[in-house]
Amino acid sequence: MLNSFVVGCGGFIGAASRYLLSLLINRYNTSTFPVSTLIINILGSFLIGLLVEILAVQNPNNKKLLLFLTTGILGGFTTFSTFSLETINLYQNGNTFLAILNVVLSILFCLAGVVLGKVLARVIIS
């Protein structure tokens, strides 16, 4: 039960952060391409890679901290369900190229974000 509370608290922080960052990014995005979702997913992927590596070395037994940061904050922050909806909407609105571009960029950069986060964590730790 405590783990659910920890995840829920983190989820609130992550979801609120995602909303505020989306507002900021969308002030400058004039295209129909979902730039804010892409940026948030890349950032969240990078951060989860970074945090998992750091916590594995620095604090491997603190499962609640890991749950709070990864499942909670970053689970609430990243927007894969929104990515999926926006991609389908692009496709259904006749923007097939943008839909495919969104899938390719999201997969490539989010995977790269995790790898870079893990690499940076190893540099920081060592």
* Distance in angstroms (rounded) separating the CA atoms of residues 22 and 54: 27
Considering the entire predicted model, what is its pTM?
Answer: 0.85
CA distances from 56 to 75, 121, 126 (A): 18, 10, 13
Domain tally, the chain: 1
* Distance in angstroms (rounded) separating the CA atoms of residues 121 and 49: 8
Its domain, for residue 34, covers: 2-125
87 belongs to an annotated ligand binding site: no
* Distance in angstroms (rounded) separating the CA atoms of residues 9 and 69: 10
Residue 85 reports pLDDT greater than 90:
no
pLDDT in tens, 38-81: 999 999 999 999 999 999 999 999 999 999 999 999 999 998 88
113 belongs to an annotated ligand binding site: no
Task: Quickly count: other Cβ atoms within 10 Å of residue 107's Cβ.
Answer: 12
Percent of the chain with pLDDT over 70: 100
DSSP line for 47-103: HHHHHHHHHHHH-TT-HHHHIIIIIIIIHHH--HHHHHHHHHHHHHTT-HHHHHHHH
Where residue 110 falls among pLDDT bands split at 50, 70, 90? very high
Q: What is the pLDDT of residue 114?
A: 95
